[in-house]
Structures are given as C-alpha cells and as structure tokens.
Amino acid sequence: DIQLTQSPSSLSASVGDRVTIACRASQDINSYLAWYQQKPGKVPKLLIYAASTLYSGVPSRFSGSGSVSGTDFTLTISSLQPDDVATYYCQKYNYDPPMFTFGQGTKLEIK
Amino acid sequence: EVQLLESGGGLVQPGGSLRLSCAASGFVFPTYAMTWVRQAPGKGLEWVSSITGSGAHTYYIDSVKGRFTISRDNSRNTLYIQIDSLRADDTAIYYCARNERATATSPLEYWGQGSLVTVSS
C-alpha cells in the first residue's frame, strides 16, 4: 500500500510568515493529491486538489505543488494568518491501489 | 446548498453492530461517489470506505474489510455503512463526505458534521 508521510508533524510560526508543509508518497501518485484543513473542533475542508488546484472560495495565500516524480508535494501558506491555525492533511485519491489514504496530519500554531 | 446529515451513532458493546446513515440533499445524489472517513479521539483522519455514484463499486481500508459494508439508496438520497463485530479501536467520529465526482478517485468536497461511535462495555 502507498503511504503518505507529512512533515513536520507540528510547527509554530508567526503571523505573516511563509509556511510550507510537505507530503511524501511512497510511490508515484501522479497528481492525485488533495489538501484539507481541519480547525479545532470543526469539520475538515478541502483546500487544494489535483496537487495544485485551489478549491473554490479558498484564499489565494494557499497554494500547492507537486514534483514530476509524483511523490513529493507541498502546501504553502504565503502569509500566515491567525485564522490558519488548524491541522492540515494530505490525501491521495488515485486508484492504484484503491486506498484513499490520508497523511498523519500537520498541526499548525501561531507563535 | 449541499447538506450531509449523519445519524445512527451511539454507545455499542464490543462485538456489537451499528448502521450509520447519511441523508444527503442539495445535489443530484446518484452522480457523486460518497465516502466515510473516521477520526478517533485526538487522532488524525482515516479513510474508511467509498462507493461510486451508481453503487457498483465499493472500496474499504484493510482493517474493516469483512466487518463494514458501505451501501447507498439513490432513491432515498441516503448513504449507509453497516458496522459489525465492533472493536474498541473503531471508536471514532464517522464523517460522511461527498466526492467531487461519480468516481471514488476524486477529492472530498463536502463533509457532514459527523456521528460519534463509542465501543465500550
């Protein structure tokens, strides 16, 4: 089975900082990767899909990218805001195999 | 407006069974795959099972194969998951989510508020 490993597991940054969260797949998943944001006590929300496509209504300070190898992905917040405090998850949704695994999550806090 | 409303959660003894339902509204239900995701207390998200829009194809995480059965009634706009042989590590909030398209190989666009299942004697 393909594993997704996020790094770091947690981070603390200041308002206005550029923040990057990584997600590494154990095998090529092409661009079948999504990012979700889950604020404390809330339901997850879709941020990015197809590795780099911003979901409707998501602020433009969020962006995603992926490598040509189809194994390395990043979520970037260009200028961290207090409202961005949350845990962020990546998820693969390619078919091979049909296991739509989440990464373990990255907890983001404000310094 | 898309709405997903889960029901059926509760306290169940180990070895027991439960059926969760997810009533969907605000979209053409048969044209979207649906997914169950769970989250144990204080833990991360875990994909559990998905079903295509037609219901023809179902997918499960290995740890629930043979114990969980996902299904849908497209005439009632309702998603189900039958959970049998419950174990303590099945304790979690179970979220119903709508995929972005009819196939399960799509991101999860909308989420319900979740239904808590607690397995304890």
Note the pLDDT tens digit of each residue in B37-59: 999 999 999 999 999 999 999 99
Note the pLDDT tens digit of each residue in A15-72: 999 999 999 999 999 999 999 999 999 999 999 999 999 999 999 999 999 999 999 9
Instruction: State whether B61 and A36 contact (CB < 8 Å).
Output: no
B116: left (phi over 0), alpha (psi -120 to 50) or beta: beta
Q: Is the pLDDT of residue A95 over 90?
A: no
The SS3 assignment for B68 reads strand
The SS3 assignment for B105 reads coil
Measured CA angle at A12 (ends A78, A23), to 5 deg: 65
The number of beta carbons lying within 10 Å of the beta carbon of residue B5 is 14
Q: Is the pLDDT of residue A99 over 90?
A: no
Residues 7-66 of A with CB under 8 A from B: 32, 34, 36, 38, 43-46, 49, 55
Residue A38 or residue A99, greater confidence: A38
Instruction: State whether A34 and B107 contact (CB < 8 Å).
Output: yes
- From chain A, the residues in CB contact with B3 under 8 A are none
Burial class of A18 by CB neighbour count within 10 A (0 to 12, 13 to 18, 19+): exposed
Instruction: State whether B95 and A46 contact (CB < 8 Å).
Output: no
- Band (pLDDT 50/70/90 cuts) for residue A1 is confident
| B3-7, strands of its sheet edge to edge | B3-7, B18-25, B78-83, B68-73
The number of beta carbons lying within 10 Å of the beta carbon of residue B120 is 10
Contact status of A1 with chain B (Cβ, < 8 Å): yes
β-bridge pairing B18-25 and A4-7:
unpaired
Distance, CA of A8 to chain centre = 11
Top residue of A5, A43, A104 to mutate, by most chain B CBs within 10 Å, is: A43
Closest-CA residue of chain A to B104: A93
- From chain A, the residues in CB contact with B35 under 8 A are 100
Top residue of A4, A30, A35, A100 to mutate, by most chain B CBs within 10 Å, is: A100
Burial class of B103 by CB neighbour count within 10 A (0 to 12, 13 to 18, 19+): middle
> Do residues B101 and B32 lie in contact, with contact meaning Cβ atoms separated by under 8 Å?
yes
For residue A10, CA distances in Å to A2, A85, A107, B92, B114 come to: 22, 11, 4, 22, 25
CA torsion sign, A103 to A2 to B84 to B34?
A: positive
* DSSP symbols for A30-91: TT-EEEEEE-TTS--EEEEETTTEEPTT--TTEEEEE-TTSSEEEEEESS--GGG-EEEEEE
- Band (pLDDT 50/70/90 cuts) for residue A96 is confident
Task: Give percent of chain B with pLDDT exceeding 70.
Answer: 100
Closest-CA residue of chain B to A36: B108
Q: Which of B97, B54, B87, B99 is nearest to B73 (CA)?
A: B54
Nearest CA of chain A to the CA of B72: how many Å?
19
Closest-CA residue of chain A to B57: A98
Tokens 């550029």: give the residue.
Answer: A18
Predicted local confidence at residue B111, as pLDDT = 98
Predicted local confidence at residue A97, as pLDDT = 77
Task: Tell me the mean pLDDT in the region B71-96.
Answer: 98
